[in-house]
Structure 1
């Protein structure tokens, strides 16, 4: 069930529309339009690991594509993600206890199971629990001849990109569930789109965080030092997960809520991945963008470099058991200075 400003949202949606009607109505809702405008007026918070070990530094959880985490405000100050272009970030907050789950969703195929995973630690036995929901990300993937500056500029027949089907699936699934979801933010698609002088489109925001104490959503970006722990291995795990049938339809879990620790489950890569990495390293940056991105013109400046670093790791460590000895997970806990230290 979806609620807007405390009122149940009753927009009719047929089984064939798969949430298109709901999504279009939400994008036009004046309360949500105002919320998106307020978010766009909020300065972007930049996250970086400080050079010194300041005790005042914040504790945050960072999520890569297809990952999710449920956090306890007692342990974590912020939880968020970035590097999203056609992906959508979803934040769900339990209004009773303040627990928050955030996911970086990249495909309609993971939405139903992914939302169930997110809610598994947020929902008690009663369906009376209510949640705040924020949707941020995705943008209008339109050609210049179709762009006209409106929230949704294409006809239904032209909505065949990546962002629109993903957003549509998310809102349809929320609408279909029995829990009560108060939609607070829908800064997606046209609300998250900017244009250059040639009318090419780009996302306004690539990331956000939730401040756990208040539930406030803030635009955010992270530098390489703050996308931790185990950045490269987690990036590789995302890539190889698409060929792991046991993970079909699921988000990737790396963070343990009750212990405030990361545990990266073993993942295996094969000779095929090694060969692909070796071949792709010889392509130019523009070719890599064209081959590997759903939105080549909208990627961040470090997109290609991040891919090359992953491929270098695979080439240097062709056997996955070197990374996961005895097929055991890689675990990280917070040290006294709040940085992550590997414990096994």
Structure 2
């Protein structure tokens, strides 16, 4: 069930989440929160800047890549967050009673149902009456809202609804039909998270968020390469490889161990076809890579192509996944004294 200001949001089960989505987008409280969020400057996470180094001695954070999730204990972690979301959505679920918080970087409607169960397994446990604070940041109007909101659209025109709208609708639909009580605090998605240039082209306002675990406050955030640790390239490759790996069908990628404050990056199997694609992309121009590999080519960050080229270099050098995950075991990293990570 979904609540705003303690009042349940009613929905028609046959609407596939569209009625509840529209109600949330128009809710006066959530509109006010969205307007306030736009005035908040992004928090920047970096371990290279001197100020960030000083902060890192005091603060510990966990970073979540696309299709990953992490559930953190406030006694062990100060911040948990994600960024690089264009058509994806950063989802936060926090148990107000014990402070346990889970963050996921949702990239497809296909992983929402099982992904919610994964997120809630440690946040809620057996207490279905837990007060769950929920925040959504990400997704934008990657197509005209007239297509997304049309109930009479044909199957052919449905392809024009983009990526953000179906994902947001699925998240809302799944929360509506679950027994847990989801109290929506932030709903900064779709039209609320859209800015347009002078030519009318749409872009997301914010691409990421971070949760302060002690208070539950959520702020727009961005992370640089030094703060998206550990094992950045392997984790990026897992995102693509997971679509060909049946063991990950419908699941969020397991990354972080809540109890031990360790990254335990579960194995993922990639095939030789990914090496062949990496080799072929070496001949592509940056503009071609954007068009082929992104759901929102005009809205990607400046390092999108470079990140993909670094992944390709790794795949060409290490085409056998068993070299990266010997004995099909996870890659384990523990927290270092400076707040960073070191491989066990």
Q: Return the TM-score normalized by structure 1.
A: 0.94
- After TM superposition, give the deviation of residue 324 of structure 1 in Å: 1.9
Unaligned runs of 5+ in 1: none
In the alignment of these two chains, the number of paired residues is 335
Q: 1:154 Cα shift?
A: 5.3
Residue 9 (structure 2) aligns with: 9
Q: Give the superposition deviation at 1:81.
A: 0.3
* Aligned pairs (5 A) from 1:248-263: 248-263=249-264
The answer for the alignment partner of 1:307 in structure 2 is 308
In structure 2, the partner of 1:29 is 27
1:89 alignment partner in structure 2: 90
Cα distance, 1:124 vs structure 2:
3.1
Residue 233 of structure 2 corresponds to 232
Deviation at 1:51, TM superposition (A): 5.6
2-structure distance, mates of 1:61, 1:126 = 25
Matches within 5 A, 1:1-344: 1-10=1-10, 12-15=11-14, 17-50=15-48, 54=54, 56-142=57-143, 155-156=150-151, 157=153, 160-343=161-344
What does the per-residue CA deviation read over 1:111-153, in whole Å, with 9 as the maximum and x for residues that have no partner?
010001100001132322110000110000125xx78xxxx98
Show CA shifts across 1:158-215 (max 9, x none).
Answer: 6621000100010111111111111111100000000000000000000010111100
Asked if 1 retains the 8 angstrom alpha-carbon contact of 2:45 and 2:222, the reply is: yes
Deviation for aligned residue 1:321: 2.1
Q: CA deviation at 1:57?
A: 4.0
The 2-side partners of 1:84 and 1:331 are apart by 26
Aligned-residue RMSD, C-alpha: 1.6
Q: CA deviation at 1:34?
A: 0.4
Separation in structure 1 between the aligned mates of residue 222 and residue 228 of structure 2, nearest angstrom: 10
Kept after mapping to 1: 8 A contact 2:148/2:161:
no
Q: Deviations over 1:48-92 (max 9, x none)?
A: 014666464421110000000000011111101000000011100
Structure-2 separation of matches of 1:178 and 1:269:
36
Q: Report the CA distance between 1:222 and its aligned residue.
A: 0.5
In structure 1, distance between residues paired with 2:68 and 2:107 = 10
Q: Which runs of 5+ in 2 are unaligned?
A: none
Q: Report how far residue 44 of structure 1 moved.
A: 0.4
Structure 1 residue ranges (4+ consecutive) displaced by more than 4 angstroms after TM superposition: none
